[in-house]
Structure 1
Amino acid sequence: MPIVTVKMFEGRTDDQKKALVEKVTDAVVETTGASKEAVTIVIEEMTKNHYAVAGKRACDE
């Protein structure tokens, strides 16, 4: 039972998230041989002030 977590900044539309889930599911099925019903996708959205690289928050760029 593959479980895929996608972390991304908030702001995508429902249509974009739907397309993402469909394509990621298809890729997992194709590469692992798992059934579509066994694939779980979790989308975790975050604000830019909750993400930083090299000591700088994404919202400060």
Structure 2
Amino acid sequence: MKIEIDQVRCVGAGQCVLAAPEVFDQREDDGIVELLDDVPAEEQWAASREAAQLCPAAAITIHED
């Protein structure tokens, strides 16, 4: 699994951080998503997929291996 984010599309809702805090964070100044791990460990895959599904701006793309 590889994750890509589109910071331009991000609206700062924070759903990704709530779903997968080991993989996503938000910038302090504007709340835009930051990717902590673009190739997360297998135990983070389900949470990462959930984060992508919850994102209201569809700013997270999951590439399966």
Scaled to the shorter chain, the TM-score interval is: under 0.3
Q: Give the TM-score normalised by the residue count of structure 1.
A: 0.26
Q: Which has the larger share of strand?
A: 1
Q: Which has the larger radius of gyration?
A: 1
Q: Which has the larger share of helix?
A: 1
